[in-house]
Amino acid sequence: SDYSVGDNVPYKVTVKVPEVLLTATPKEGEEENFVFEVTDTPENLKNNKDVKVYTSAGEEYKGAGVDISYTTPENGFTAKFTQAALRALVGTNADGSYNDTFTITYTAKLLKGADMTVNGNKNTINLKYSNKIDADGKINPGTSSEIEDGAVVYTFSIHVDKRGEKKDGDPLPGVKFNVYKKVAEGTKGAVQGSTIGITGADAGEYFVKVVIDGTKTDGTKYDLVTGPDGKAQVDGLANGTYYLVETATVNGYNLLSGPVKVTIQVSYFKSWTVKNEYVGDTLVHQKETEYEEYFGGSEDDPKNGYTLTTIINRKGFNLPTTGGFGTLLFSGIGVLLVVAGVGVLLSL
């Protein structure tokens, strides 16, 4: 899926427990060495420390035997389960047999600097569990296996090329924009499109300002500013509809008459198949093949997800500045006309 930087990405992990781990008995004195651990390792994501565990019936589990610790600097977590907790989590059927799944949910914030290429931002879940049952039905705590799975979050960007008069005209540096993202009605901080100059079908839709640099404290954190080459970019955006509202331009050029619509619609798709095989006594869960669909918002660079838009400003003219020579000249002429009028009146 795709998200913007700062968004909280929801995750749900479904864990399947082999029945043999529920029915076998740890060796005497080795109960604490029973292994069943789920570890989350995110890339460019930070866990919000809101991990919750649910039973197979969908109820939040608040019983004993589940130890959750948050890891740094990986920004993930590790959840350890006792055998008794696993039995309680999966539950039993009417005939006394065990179910085999439970779930873990949490959210993770997509961080600034997230990868915007085809690699995406992967979140990997690893399951480590005791894997050897002796002939007497006892769990051997000395060995374990690991399997893993993952999900990928993509994020993209808008590139702006600001030119004067024509598409290949002079680059315009120092031009400022506010960037607005289309959101659902009721979103905190959202304003209706018509209030920021949007017309047409989107005038009645809702938009929020995109923070360009959250570290700024001088009130300019929303300003997207073109550089000496007339270019600027805003990173870490999800697919969607955006508007660029020009707030300042180069002296001698007119401000744009209205916001510029930019649509990010990057196609992405990554899939793989897995196979399980034993290497000795170890079950190996590995990726077998991988398939990638077209990825990118630019034909020039299909491996990077961005949308490029060229915005042209036209030259205009400046009205006389208040208090300047032009104002004094016109004021003087006005006074002379008034005096002349009074003179005519007195002569009658």
Q: In this predicted model, what pLDDT tens digit does every residue of 126-185 receive, in sequence order?
A: 999 988 888 787 887 767 888 888 889 999 999 999 999 999 999 999 999 999 999 999
pLDDT attached to residue 170: 95
Task: Tell me which residue of 161, 305, 310 sits closest to 240, measured CA to CA.
Answer: 305
**pLDDT higher than 60, residue 327:** no
Give the percent of the chain with pLDDT over 90: 60
**pLDDT higher than 90, residue 33:** no
**pLDDT higher than 70, residue 292:** no
Average pLDDT over residues 194-199: 97
| Summary mean pLDDT of the chain | 85
pLDDT attached to residue 347: 40
**pLDDT higher than 60, residue 2:** yes
Residue 45: burial class (beta carbons within 10 Å; 0-12, 13-18, 19+): buried
Average pLDDT over residues 230-238: 96
Average pLDDT over residues 3-25: 93
pLDDT attached to residue 320: 45
Count the helix, strand and coil residues of the chain and give each as a percent rounded to the nearest 5: 15, 45, 40
DSSP SS3 for 5: coil
Count the helices and strands in the chain (H runs, E runs): 3, 21
Count other Cβ atoms within 10 Å, centred on residue 310.
15
Average pLDDT over residues 230-253: 96
CA atoms of 271 and 71, how far apart (whole Å): 28
CB-based contacts of 105: which residues, under 8 Å, 6+ apart? 10, 11, 12, 13, 51, 52, 54
Average pLDDT over residues 82-106: 93
Average pLDDT over residues 302-328: 66
For the chain, the C-alpha Rg in angstroms (whole number) is: 32
CA atoms of 153 and 341, how far apart (whole Å): 77
Average pLDDT over residues 237-248: 96
pLDDT attached to residue 24: 86
| Residue 293's pLDDT band (cuts 50, 70, 90) | low
Task: Tell me which residue of 176, 138, 157, 106 sits closest to 33, measured CA to CA.
Answer: 138
pLDDT attached to residue 319: 46
CA neighbours closer than 13 Å in the CB half-sphere of residue 16: 4
Q: Could you tell me the two tokens for 87?
A: 């039995």
